[in-house]
Structure 1
Amino acid sequence: MATSLKIGALKAPSLDDIEALGRVALDTLPEEFRKLAGDVELRVDDFPTPEVLDDLGAETEFDLLGLFHGVGMAHAPAVEYTGVMPNRIWLYRRPILDYWAEHDETLEAIVSHVLIHEIGHHFGLSDDDMEEIEDAAG
């Protein structure tokens, strides 16, 4: 069977590609969720830092696909104050690509899932809370 696939043209998605997928996922959230997410920054890196891995007790650098870093809505002060880093959602390209290679999901679906999961942390939800919501949604 002939194929039109040109192997020499294939490249792994770049940091910019993953960021573009994350931006599309963020832009396609329902408006009320985008408003609640506010000005959260989206960042992409190949891997989490060693400090992040240590803080979260990760066994390998591939254990973490994304991370919310900042002050979640449930813990935000009533009054704005200065000197605080902006809330950020990190997407980690290499762990995402590794997960993608091992599962039967599109890269777009995986990036969207990770982004939504991290926004859940921004809303103050725990991993267990989000798992219950996902299970209830089917």
Structure 2
Amino acid sequence: MTNPWTDRAAPSLDDFEQIAAAAFSALPSEFRELAGNVPCAVADFPDEETIREMELESEFDILGLFRGVGLPQGGAMPFTGQMPNQVWLYRRPILDYWAESEAGETLGEIITHVLVHEIGHHFGFSDEDMEAIEAAAERE
């Protein structure tokens, strides 16, 4: 019997971008329309500045990050010199979380969760709001 995992490699950054794009397109249309101008980037790990700012003990301590000023804090239009809002997904910490998860979540479910959570910070959504968005994505 052949093991289906023996010839597989971990998803690449490009694979992650494709999974994130598919996760985003499966979200409710109202949410996608609101988030349409917030770009999503994928990196293996957070950069040194993020590790320092977030006071992380390890580069594996964060799965994703919303960087910018959320809409409730006046972030609809960038101030002069302000970088645009952006969502980051961190491939290696997400893969590590997936590998250690005992909940049986798929990689796509985890990426969707992190994506919704980070975009939700842009809008100032509560955890309950974000859970409702994820539930709607699962139904679609």
**Aligned pairs (5 A) from 1:1-138:** 2-3=1-2, 5=4, 7=6, 9-76=7-74, 83-103=81-101, 104-125=104-125, 129-130=126-127, 134=131
What TM-score, normalized to structure 1? 0.83
Distance 1:35-1:132 versus aligned 2 partners, 3 A rule: closer
Identity %: 53
- Higher Rg: 1
SS in 2 for 1:113: helix
1:73 alignment partner AA: L
Could you list the runs of 5+ residues in structure 1 that have no partner in the other structure? Answer: none
Distance 1:133-1:28 versus aligned 2 partners, 3 A rule: closer
C-alpha distance in 2 between matches for 1:77 and 1:25: 24
1:5 Cα deviation from its structure 2 partner: 2.3
C-alpha distance in 2 between matches for 1:78 and 1:90: 18
What TM-score, normalized to structure 2? 0.82
Distance 1:57-1:78 versus aligned 2 partners, 3 A rule: closer
Could you list the runs of 5+ residues in structure 2 that have no partner in the other structure? Answer: 136-140
